[in-house]
Amino acid sequence: MNSDKKMIFQKTSKNTFLFENIDSEKTINEILGNDIINENIPDFPDVPENEVVRHYLKLSQLNFSVDNGFYPLGSCTMKYNPKINERVAVNPGFLNTHPYFDEKHTQGNLELMYELGEYLKDITGMDAVTLQPVAGAHGEMTGLHIIRKYHEKKGNTHKNIIIMPDSAHGTNPASAALAGFKVVEIPSDEHGCIDIEKLEKVVDENTAGFMVTNPNTLGLYDRNIMKISEIFHKVDAVLYYDGANLNAIMGKVKPGDMGFDIVHMNLHKTFSTPHGGGGPGSGPVTVKKRLAEYLPVPVVEKKEHNYFLNFDKPDSIGRIHSYYGNFQVLVKAYSYIRMLGREGLKKSSEMAVLNANFMAARLKEHYYLPYDRICMHEFVLSAKKIKKDTGVSAMDIAKRLLDYGYHAPTMYFPLIVEEALMIEPTETETVENLEKFCDVLIKIKQECYDNHELLHQAPVSTPIRRTDDVKAARQPKFNFFNDFNND
Amino acid sequence: MAGVLYTKTHEWVKVKGDVATIGLTDYAQGELGDIVFVEMPEVGTELSTGDSVGTIESVKTVSDYYSPVTGEIVEVNDNLEDAPETINEDPSGEGWIYRVKLEDKDELEDLMDESDYKQYLKKLQEEEE
Amino acid sequence: MHFFPHLPENEIKILKELNVQNINELFSDISSQNINPELKIPEGMSELEVDRLLSSKALKNNISNVLSFAGAGIYPHYVPSVIDEISGRGEYYTAYTPYQPEVSQGTLQTIYEFQSYICALTGLDVANASMYDGATALAEACLLALANKKGKKIILSAGVHPEYKKVIQTYLSCTDAEIEEVGLNEHGTTDISKLKTILDKDTAAVVISNPNFFGNIENEYNEFLNLKNEFGFIFIGSVNPVAQFVLKNSKHYGFDVVTGEGQPLGMYQSFGGPCLGFFAASSKYARKMPGRIVGLTTDADGKDCFVLTLQAREQHIRRDKATSNICSNQALCASRATMYMSLLGKTGMQNLAAVNLKKSRRLLSILEKYGFKKVFSAEFFNEFTVSHNQAEDIYNKLLQKDIVLGVKLSDFHGGSYNDKLLVCCTENFLDEDFERLEKSLKEVIK
């Protein structure tokens, strides 16, 4: 490694952090005998506490985060994470509860989970809920298993196809495949919405379900959604709503009213729980009444003033997590919902949509907006023309944004837009921030024409420059103890 | 049969006696980008036409590659394990992937010759625009 | 209280710029019968009110005086103060997945270090950036076996955590896998002679837990290794990460994949979530593994740096042919585990293991004094099974004194386990805790 002492494993030991001052090896030998002991763990230092602090603090400073600045990552809803959520979630009264405690020691937890479930049902217009899935993709998988069980119970095992638009997020087909379904993608029409004609040709008695998000991954609301749901319900297919874009519609419309039967939510998107660098998240699923019996066990129920975990669900799809979901994340979402209340949630969606339209209107003169109509909480620009004229790609533009102190938008998604840049401002940004970001994007566009080489070299002012991804994949190094054998 | 033959899935086939050497065309390697890994089949595997032989991985994608013939694999290009980029550098020479002992030489008639393949590529490029 | 900063004049200005009269026009694609529905959610509150409300909920749990010896997958270890402090930095917890490596080196290097620690303790070559929990990690290991072996049989030891078995069943329910279970012998470990009778060329994987659910150490590693070499199945171990600093690992057992629950590495119990699944495998499965992987590479200036790699296997590229659908994982928890292992080091982890061994034996001797018997003859790490003909009664009476004497095995395995409890003890118990337990046992057992 060409920077000295950069890895935690290369620091010096202190030999002071002990739980008890005993001879560890001797104790282990005496208790278990030689035959059991593991001798082949490589050495790694016990780093002094202040060095641990410095190492990880310095590393954290290399990160860009929502707390640093604007993070318009489309489809990820990088809204501000309120600190009150963090405070309430670390109450020892929550943290020190074991999942197998008797009911008398879990009433607070169960009450919180029950109420949260009621709120999520209300927002989505559904009848039953599970808080067990711990990520959006996990919620998707759960929903798809429910669809499978529903058809199995009706004796319709020939229904094995899930239809989705070609603009679907990658987890959708992956989850469908994981649940044993075949995936059929249908194209979007010129308005960026589901092509109803093509859809009607594809839906038949083998269709098990439809997976979609509304607004879709282009940030566009499909006004034909009621008609679409009729087409599917006619063949008893189940409609699944991917809630990644829920931030556009809280309190404005309920997926249940659009005709959906199953919804998953991403608490770490819409409900402000932090992203954590890639988790922990939470992906609760709500369903219509006729699917409630298939939800994972256990469900949180209430009898008079007592809350309990109900394991008695003979038709449940089973378990998808060892316990009850990411409880600590649920606490944060609960806190957020109580703070905003019904009017606050509605206004959050309104402001998210307002901000996106504001930016789209300013930017469409300078970038190509393939679907030039009112958008919802996010919109997709295309750098197609810029690429043609100057050779600068969406990737180059995204990297240049890093130089200006912004996190790049989502690139190259959805796949149906060439050189896509998906921007989702969220409701927590000030007008000044939005205006500044637009100005920077416009400036960068000018740079593409005036000085395209600068774009190809970007970023130049970040802690590191562009990475050699080919080398990383060709000569994989993912384990210090193999990669640094000779150090 | 003389000359190199081609498939619609962009594999090339060179026959010598009853052994066919198979690789990816220049067009395919261009589409894939920098190749980082080639999943190789095992010697002795029986293949039928159209079977997926393995996958080829670049940074941005993973694609299956398919067998244009039926037969038994008699040799694989071990160099590709350490140097998968050989397919990018010399797709029709050093970048060969595997060799099959042909079971039915008549199958070769279903494949395209060089001029047909060039036409096919031209049509694909026109469709893209 | 809300978090959208626009003043009414900002709103008006923007609407004007958009040439729109009011906000509802932006939602005009929603049908009039569905728009602006009534929500039953209560009205919003101030931060002060929410703080009070959540405190009162936590108080309803009534655990301030609880002394718990419950384990069974989630353990009451001590969490060093440094971890909350550093993982609580906004740069760590408000960042997202490191899609732009140039501005994510903090997360990426931390995860690379996490992967390395997991490889060190499991004895395998490659580990991913984490999975949801020990159960789903194990389920995904079974899926890997099915995808890479011709056989369809998955053999689970009866020692695997019962909830993990349920998760495996759900995950495998839409494959053509056949799940078979092999029971335990009289010592409380996997019955190897029975295992031999059901092993065949059709076996894709064999799964054991070490220590197993009952706390017993599966010490017949030579036997397992021989069977693995003979039958060629994928051998999967579900392990306790702290115990791995004492027990033999994949090098002796021949595990191809090792998964487990990383909660003991610096995470609170938190009612079972968030957890930390870890997943390690031998290098031949590096491209077949689920989950994100961070790799070391160089940047355009030749500087060493980290990046998400082997992404071509993942959902956003491979879509329906992906190795898994996992997107978000448990990254922040993995960061905590990394900090924990850095603080302790190998010697600290061994010390932690030694203290766990010692204190759990102190607990056992106290229980034996009061008529409890250790059920299995196998050795244990920090958790064991005891029986008492009044087990249920004693458990309930202790509960009234806010002492949780482990978990009742009858809750998992039915009536024949009515007299058995699974108890654990960690470094986090001091003299005063043992004294309190003894005093209460004296009061409760006449």
pLDDT in tens, A439-478: 999 999 999 999 999 999 999 999 999 999 999 988 889 9
- For residue C20 the two structure tokens come to 């729109």
Contact A193/A222 with Cβ under 8 angstroms?
A: yes
CB atoms within 10 A of CB C222: 12
Rounded to 5 degrees, φ, ψ at C214 are: -85, 0
Query: How many Å apart are CA C341 and CA C356, to the nearest integer?
Result: 16
Q: Which of B37, B58, B61 sits opposite C287 (nearest CB)?
A: B37
Task: Please tell me whether residues C213 and C327 are part of one structural domain.
Answer: yes
- C224/C157 Cα distance (integer angstroms): 12
Q: Is residue C110 part of a domain?
A: yes
List, for residues B16-64, the tens digit of each pLDDT value. Answer: 999 999 999 999 999 888 999 999 998 999 999 989 898 898 877 788 8
Question: Quick one: C31 and C167 in the same domain?
Answer: no
H or E element that contains C332: helix C331-369
Backbone angles phi, psi at C216, to 5 degrees: -80, 140
Q: Which of A23, A22, A25 is nearest to A34 (CA)?
A: A25
Range with the poorest average pLDDT among A109-123, A314-328, A397-411, C429-443: A397-411
| Paired tokens of C22 | 């009011």
Instruction: List CB contacts (< 8 A) between B42 and chain C.
Output: none
Question: Are the CB atoms for C155 and C224 separated by under 8 Å?
Answer: no
**3-state SS track over A192-207:** CCECHHHHHHHCCCCE
Burial A45-64 (b: 16+ CB within 10 A, else e): bbbbbebbbebbeebbebbb
**Which one of B36, B80, B85, B129 would you mutate to disrupt binding with A, by most A Cβ within 10 Å of its Cβ?**
B36
Give the architecture-level CATH label for domain B4-128.
Beta Barrel (2.40)
Interface test with C, best of A37, A52, A63 (most C CBs within 10 A): A63
Share of chain A above pLDDT 70, in %: 97
Is the same domain home to C185 and C264?
yes
3-state secondary structure B13-73: EEEECCEEEEEECHHHHHHHCCEEEECCCCCCCEECCCCEEEEEEECCCEEEEECCCCEEE
At residue C319, the pLDDT reads 64
DSSP state of A306: E
Closest-CA residue to C378 (of C283, C247, C277, C285): C247
Tokens of C417: 């386990």
Residue range A342-474 forms a domain whose CATH class is: alpha beta
Closest CA to C50 of A122, A253, A332: A332
Cα(A71)–Cα(A426) distance, rounded to whole angstroms?
9
C60 within a domain of the structure (yes/no) = no
Subunit contact C317:B39, Cβ cutoff 8 A: no
CA distance B16 to chain C (A): 33
Give CA–CA dist B78/B87, Å, rounded.
12
For residue B111, give every residue at least 6 positions away whose Cβ sits within 8 Å of its Cβ, in sequence order, or none. Answer: B5, B6, B7, B13, B68
Contact C15, C23 (CB under 8 A): yes
With 90 as the cut, is the pLDDT of residue A233 above it? yes
Mutation site for A-interface testing, chosen from B55, B57, B59, B129 by largest number of A Cβ within 10 Å: B59
Residue C386, Cα to own-chain centre: how many angstroms?
A: 25
Q: Compare CB distances from A469 to B37, B59, B85 and report the shortest one's residue.
A: B59
Contact A28 C164 (CB under 8 A): no
A238: nearest Cα among A261, A265, A267, A269: A261
Whether C1 maps to a domain, the answer reads no
Residues C361 and C261 in one domain: no
Contacts for A49-52 with beta carbons within 8 Å, 24 or more apart? A49/A17, A49/C82, A49/C343, A51/A11, A51/A12, A52/A8, A52/C82, A52/C86, A52/C339, A52/C342, A52/C343
Strand order in the sheet with C383-387: C373-374, C383-387, C420-424, C407-408
| CA–CA dist C52, A76 (Å, integer) | 31
pLDDT class of B2 with cuts at 50, 70, 90 = low
CATH number at residue C393: 3.90.1150.10
| Residue B1 binned pLDDT confidence (cut-offs 50, 70, 90) | very low
Of C290, C313, C340, which residue sits at a domain end? Answer: C340
Biggest alpha carbon distance in chain C? Answer: 83
Helical (H) or strand (E) element with C14: helix C8-18
Instruction: Name the 3-class secondary structure at C125.
Output: coil
Phi-psi region of C43 (alpha: psi -120 to 50; beta: other; left: phi over 0): beta
Region A290-303: mean pLDDT is 97
Q: Are residues C371 and C329 in the same domain?
A: no
- Report pLDDT digits (tens) over A117-151: 999 999 999 999 999 999 999 999 999 999 999 99
Q: Is the pLDDT of residue A406 over 50?
A: yes
Asked if residue C350 lies in contact with residue A44, where contact means CB atoms within 8 angstroms, the answer is no
B127 vs A278, which has greater pLDDT?
A: A278
Return mean pLDDT, chain A: 93
Does residue C62 fall inside a structural domain? no
Q: For residues C422 and A98, what is the distance between their CA atoms, to the nearest angstrom?
A: 14
Would C58 be classed as within a structural domain?
A: no
Q: Does A130 touch chain C (CB under 8 A)?
A: no
Using a 10 angstrom Cβ sphere, with 0-12 exposed, 13-18 middle and 19 or more buried, the burial of residue A270 is buried
Per-residue model confidence as pLDDT tens for chain C (446 residues):
889 999 999 999 999 999 999 999 999 999 999 999 999 999 999 999 999 999 999 999 999 999 999 999 999 999 999 999 999 999 999 998 898 999 999 999 999 999 999 999 999 999 999 999 999 999 999 999 999 998 999 999 999 999 999 999 999 998 999 999 999 999 999 999 999 999 999 999 999 999 999 999 999 999 999 999 999 999 999 999 999 999 998 999 999 999 999 999 999 999 999 999 999 999 999 988 999 999 999 999 999 999 999 876 766 666 666 667 777 689 999 999 999 999 999 999 999 999 999 999 999 999 999 999 999 999 999 999 999 999 999 999 999 999 999 999 999 998 889 999 999 999 999 999 999 999 999 999 97
Angle among Cα C248, C245, A324 to the nearest 5 degrees reads: 100
pLDDT at position B129 is 61
A257 touches chain C (CB under 8 A): yes
Say whether pLDDT at A331 is over 60: yes
- Cβ separation of C312 and B57 shorter than 8 Å? yes
CA distance C398 to chain B (A): 59
Inter-chain touch A474–B36, beta carbons under 8 Å: yes
Q: Measured between alpha carbons, how far is C202 from C224 in angstroms, rounded to an integer?
A: 17
Residue C35 and residue C88 in one domain: no
Rounded Cα distance between A109 and A145, Å, is: 27
Q: At what angle do helices A107-124 and C47-60 cross, to 10 degrees?
A: 130
Same domain for C278 and C372, yes or no, is: no
**Domain ranges, residue C375:** 67-78+349-444
C55 within domain boundaries: no
- Residues 6+ positions from A29 with CB-CB distance below 8 Å: A37
Beta strands B5-6; B11-16: pairing state: antiparallel
Chain C interface test: which of B37, B62, B63 (most C C-beta within 10 Å) = B62
CATH numeric code, A83-340: 3.40.640.10
- The answer to whether residue A5 scores a pLDDT higher than 70 is no
C-alpha distance from B120 to closest chain A C-alpha (Å): 24
pLDDT tens-place string over residues A201-220: 999 999 999 999 999 989 99
Query: For position A487, what pLDDT does the model report?
Result: 44
Chain C touched by A263 (CB under 8 Å): no
- Closest to C330 (Cα-Cα) out of C277, C378, C376, C284: C277
DSSP E strands: which ranges in A283-442?
Answer: 285-287, 299-303, 306-310, 379-382, 410-411, 420-423
Cβ under 8 Å to C: A residues 283-322:
296, 317-322
Residue B35: which of B87, B97, B81, B95 has the closest Cα? B87
Q: Are C255 and C249 in contact (CB under 8 A)?
A: yes
| A476 Cα to chain B: minimum distance (Å) | 10
Domain assignments of chain B as residue spans, ordered by start: 4-128
Please give the Cα distance from C290 to A310 (Å, whole number): 32
Residue-wise pLDDT for B73-123, tens only, equals: 999 999 998 899 999 999 999 999 999 999 988 888 889 999 999 999 999
User: CA of C138, closest CA in chain A: separation in Å?
Assistant: 11
pLDDT for the residue numbered A469: 92
Query: Given this model, what pLDDT does residue C329 score?
Result: 80
Q: Of chain C residues 280-299, which have a CB less than 8 A from chain A? A: 286, 292-299
Q: Are residues C380 and C269 in the same domain?
A: no
Which residues from A are below 8 Å from B37, CB to CB? 473-474
C-alpha span between C139 and C174 (Å, rounded): 13
Instruction: Note whether A91 contacts C5, CB cutoff 8 Å.
Output: no
How far is Cα of residue B33 from the mean position of the Cα atoms in its chain?
A: 16
A98 and C68 in contact by Cβ < 8 A?
A: yes
Q: Compare all CA atoms of chain C with the CA of A355 and give the residue at the minimum distance.
A: C14
Within 10 angstroms of residue A347's Cβ, the number of other Cβ atoms is 22
Asked if C327 and C383 sit in the same domain, the reply is no
What CA–CA distance (Å, rounded) separates A69 from A405? 8
The CATH number that applies at residue C209 is: 3.40.640.10
CB pairs under 8 A between A and B: 14
Burial of A180 per CB tally in 10 Å (0-12, 13-18, 19+): middle
pLDDT value of position C320: 62
Query: For residue A1, what pLDDT is reported?
Result: 43
Q: Which tokens hold the place of B40?
A: 């190789």
Cβ distance of C30 and A223 shorter than 8 Å: yes
Residue A35, pLDDT above cutoff 80 = no
Nearest CA in chain B to C285: B39
| Chain C residues whose beta carbon lies within 8 Å of the beta carbon of residue B39 | 287
Which of B32, B34, B57, B60 is the best substitution to test chain A (most A C-beta atoms within 10 A)? B34
Neighbors of chain A by Cβ distance (3+ pairs < 8 Å): B, C
Report which of residues A178 and A95 the model is more confident about: A95
Buried b (16+ CB within 10 A) or exposed e, C228-253: beebebbbbbbbbbbbbbbbbbbbbb
Q: Which helix (H) or strand (E) holds A262?
A: strand A262-264
pLDDT reported for residue A2: 46
Q: Is A53 on the interface with C (CB under 8 A)?
A: yes
Question: What does R_g of chain C's alpha carbons equal in angstroms?
Answer: 25
Q: Which of C340, C360, C385 is the last residue of a domain?
A: C340
Is the pLDDT higher at A206 or at A169? A206
| Ranges of CATH 3.90.1150.10 domains, chain A | 342-474
Q: What share of chain B is helix, strand, coil (3-state, %, to 5)?
A: 30, 35, 40
Cβ–Cβ contact A272 with C under 8 A: yes
- Are C261 and C161 contained in the same domain? yes
User: C323: closest CA among C190, C146, C195, C153?
Assistant: C146
Number of domains in chain C: 3
